[in-house]
Amino acid sequence: MNNAIVYDIEDLRCRLDSYLDGLSQLRHSEKYRELLGEAFSFKVTAWEQSIRRQKDMPFTIVVCGEFKRGKSSFINSLLGEDVVTTDVTTETITLNKISYGPHSNALVLEKGKRMLLTDEQLRREHLEEILEKADGNFYELELKRPIEFLKKVTIVDTPGLSDSLQDFSPMVIESLMQADAVIYIFSAIYPLSYREQVFLKNSVIPQKHTDLLLVANYVDMLRNDAELERMYKEIQSRIHSLMPGEDAYMISALDERCRQIGTPRPNEKTQGKLEANFAALRDDIVNLVDTKCDMVLPDRMERMIQGMQADLQSYLDGIARSLDTSEDALKEEQKKSDVATTEMLVQQTQAIENIKTAIQNMKAETETWLKQVILKMRKEIADFSSFDIRDVRKYYPIYCIDTLQDALSRCFDYHTDVLYDMLDEISGKLTKNMPSDINNLGMKASFRFVLNNKTWTKGDNVALALNFVSLNNPILDLVAKGVAGGMRDKEMSSNTQEVYQDIRNQYDKLEKSLPAVITNIYSHLEKQLSVLLQAYYSEKAADLKNQMEQMRLIVHRSTEEKNQIRQAVKSVRSILEEMA
């Protein structure tokens, strides 16, 4: 019988408007605001406005993921048109909302204003300047396109979650609350890091009425179908440990867009598989939209009303407890609050000390590991006898810098995973609020390699000659696969032994520089986590103080006023329960 039930959407909208009007009357009533407090009125206002805004929106798909996972490229491939700018920097990127309509671009500003932009102004060199002049007083880019698929769907392209210069997490979290479906993009080369899993667990999975599609991008970087299949099994293993029953789509947004516009595909060996995979993903998205269109309003409203109810009921519970507290009991509650505040300070001190101790151990561990890497590379120099010394002179400095950088990044990633676990044991709120630039600290090392009076740094790295891939040497194979940057190609005259001795001398200097490089990165990590913990415990103490202040104000009210507050709480609860 449940399967035979359908919803009258217009009736739902009318009922919803009626409930929201009831809440609106309460928050506009000076009497209720005085009885329940301004903080409660602000909460009701925010929820009411958000629900009214969402109830008339079309099916909304939110595309999210960490920075540089190809979200914008994926959207362009899905729509078959270069709608979203893909080359903006971390400083300037913002939320893009794409919907159906005549071709237009607008930057949504404060107070209902919009700045109309041309397609040319969406290009990086122009958009950066425009957003800089807007000085942060904008909300999103609103893009409209006459694309058939958008008649049923609005797509939200969110900022990356690990931008080094700005934390966009609150903006993304708010978007997820409004999503009817979420497409989470991650890299098939470095799939589902611990940070990505934390985000999925804390922010996406709890949206139980929101469909989730997990998409592994950059699959064109895998060499062949066999390697693609192996990586798929590895990714599935990670997904099932977090979300049993979920599946991943293995795609390449680049391959699909190249196919659409008729340019050379990035990987001939896998292009057939990639084309089929993207087609399957597109079909599933279209079917999902068609299937759920009629259920958008009830699903979305249930999701939002549950969130509102949990938020407001918690506040009302605090008021109700205060109403039943006597003058004598208030003194006892104050004593308990003072004890709890003192305990929080002790917990804060201990938590920060534990983090500092852990990071000091991690720093020593990283130094030991990197010295082992350097020792291994020293020994491998002997294996270079079969290579042209000119190639060694040209490419070895870059290999060395890149290998050490990669090794440090892996150590740092491993340690940040451990720290996430430590913070999660204290509170899931801490892992949600981790500073976003922590994710990039491991890439900020400053190694230098000087060979024949030429200095090489990470900034000199560039994609190397393809012939190195065929050398079948794991050292140089790493170079060919993983290096990016520019090379200064100049003939250097020196005999073989001098070059090798020069390399050995550089290793001595690199080893001596390790402690300073590692200390710089881990000290920054320690400082940021200490600030995070201080803010967390300070907020807890402030909440406790505010609760006591609210309780004190209510306890000292007259009996008549308390009865009025009880009636106000009862009225609000009645509306919330009826809405739910």
pLDDT in tens, 374-429: 888 888 776 666 667 777 766 677 677 777 877 887 888 788 888 888 888 898 77
Please say whether the beta carbons of 219 and 250 come within 8 A: yes
- Whether residue 417 sits in one domain with residue 297: no
How many Å apart are CA 34 and CA 42, to the nearest integer?
13
Strands 96-100 and 248-250: unpaired
* 573 inside domain: no
Using the predicted structure, report yes or no on whether residue 184 has a pLDDT greater than 90: yes
Domain limits for position 201: 57-302
- Whether residue 220 sits in one domain with residue 80: yes
Give me the sign of the Cα torsion angle 298, 303, 308, 313.
positive
3-state secondary structure 526-569: HHHHHHHHHHHHHHHHHHHHHHHHHHHHHHCCCHHHHHHHHHHH
* 361 inside domain: yes
What is the arithmetic mean of pLDDT over 119-137? Answer: 73
Give me the sign of the Cα torsion angle 394, 397, 398, 400.
positive
* 435 inside domain: yes
Specify the pLDDT at position 88.
53
What mean pLDDT, rounded, does the chain reach? 79
- Whether residue 191 sits in one domain with residue 83: yes
What is the total residue count of the chain?
580
Owner of token pair 């599946």:
247
Q: What are the beta bridge partners of residue 117?
A: 105
- Whether residue 99 sits in one domain with residue 235: yes
| Stated pTM of the model | 0.59
DSSP 3-state assignment of 56? coil
* 84 inside domain: yes
Q: pLDDT band for position 490 (50/70/90)?
A: very low
Backbone angles phi, psi at 191, to 5 degrees: -80, 135
- Whether residue 488 sits in one domain with residue 359: yes
Ramachandran region, residue 188 (left: φ > 0; alpha: ψ -120 to 50; beta: rest): alpha
Task: Give me the number of domains the chain comprises.
Answer: 2
- Whether residue 271 sits in one domain with residue 158: yes
- Domain boundary, last residue among 259, 276, 302: 302
- Whether residue 277 sits in one domain with residue 180: yes
* 137 inside domain: yes
- Domain boundary, last residue among 266, 286, 302: 302
- Whether residue 399 sits in one domain with residue 293: no
- Whether residue 357 sits in one domain with residue 298: no
* 554 inside domain: no
Owner of token pair 């071709």:
103
* 466 inside domain: yes
- Whether residue 509 sits in one domain with residue 401: yes
- Whether residue 384 sits in one domain with residue 468: yes
Please say whether the beta carbons of 187 and 250 come within 8 A: no
Specify the pLDDT at position 443.
52
- Whether residue 249 sits in one domain with residue 101: yes
* 546 inside domain: no
